[in-house]
């Protein structure tokens, strides 16, 4: 004896299950969606927060046709917002103050830069200093707390530093070598 069961096989359309779930489980009201964190003036800063650097903001909202920005987004540092941004500005100020005497003397030896930064209390294993061009030095500090990282350069013209929160696909302050 052959029994044919026709239980509606093949009659379910794509999205029916999701639509049925949404009808039986409506979205509660009063739930907010994540938004961009608000920045506010930090102590010692003018009333308007500084704009993110060009390295941390996309230059265009139009997607590139070659997908370069999309494929290299893992190398864009995570910007700091709110209280973390203020903490980052404080750390950047301390770093610049520690390096300014070296810059004024024209001392661009990576070992001396590393010593000045470890003199601020950062662990020697978390501070890198390296020759950056013919007459400058670059540095990277893995703070290990908020803000996580400070990176910059020192040359005869100026000392530049930025605090950031690591990288999207990384676990530390070093730019990751591969992305998604």
Each residue's pLDDT, cut to its tens digit, for the chain (180 residues) gives 444 444 444 444 444 444 444 444 444 455 444 556 677 788 877 765 445 444 444 444 555 566 655 655 566 888 999 889 999 999 999 999 999 999 999 999 999 999 999 999 999 999 999 998 878 999 999 998 777 899 999 999 999 999 999 888 777 788 877 655
DSSP 55: G
**88 by DSSP, 3-state: which?**
helix
Are 81 and 64 a contacting pair, CB within 8 Å? Answer: no
Global confidence as pTM: 0.65
Compute the C-alpha angle 44/50/51, nearest 5°. 170
Are 154 and 145 a contacting pair, CB within 8 Å? Answer: no
Neighbouring CB atoms inside 10 A of 153's CB total 16
Are 127 and 118 a contacting pair, CB within 8 Å? Answer: yes
Neighbouring CB atoms inside 10 A of 169's CB total 14
Give the residue from 123, 116, 124 showing the smallest Cα distance to 161: 116
C-alpha R_g of the chain? 25
Give the residue from 130, 132, 133, 129 showing the smallest Cα distance to 141: 129
């Amino acid at each position: 004896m052959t029994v044919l069961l026709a239980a509606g096989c093949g009659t379910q359309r794509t999205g029916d299950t999701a639509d049925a779930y949404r009808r039986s489980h409506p979205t509660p009201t009063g739930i907010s969606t994540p938004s961009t964190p608000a920045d506010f003036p930090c102590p010692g800063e003018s009333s308007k927060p500084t704009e993110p650097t060009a390295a941390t903001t996309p230059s265009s909202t139009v997607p590139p046709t070659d997908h370069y920005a999309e494929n290299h987004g893992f190398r864009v540092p995570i910007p700091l917002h709110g209280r973390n941004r203020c903490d980052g500005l404080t750390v950047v100020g301390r770093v610049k103050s520690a390096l300014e005497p070296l810059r004024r003397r024209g001392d661009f030896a990576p070992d001396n830069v590393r010593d000045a930064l470890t003199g601020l209390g950062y662990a020697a294993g978390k501070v890198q200093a390296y020759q950056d061009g013919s007459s400058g030095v670059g540095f990277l500090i893995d703070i290990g707390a908020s803000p996580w990282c400070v990176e910059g350069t020192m040359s005869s013209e100026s000392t530049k530093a930025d605090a950031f929160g690591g990288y999207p696909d990384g676990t530390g302050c070093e730019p990751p070598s591969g992305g998604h």
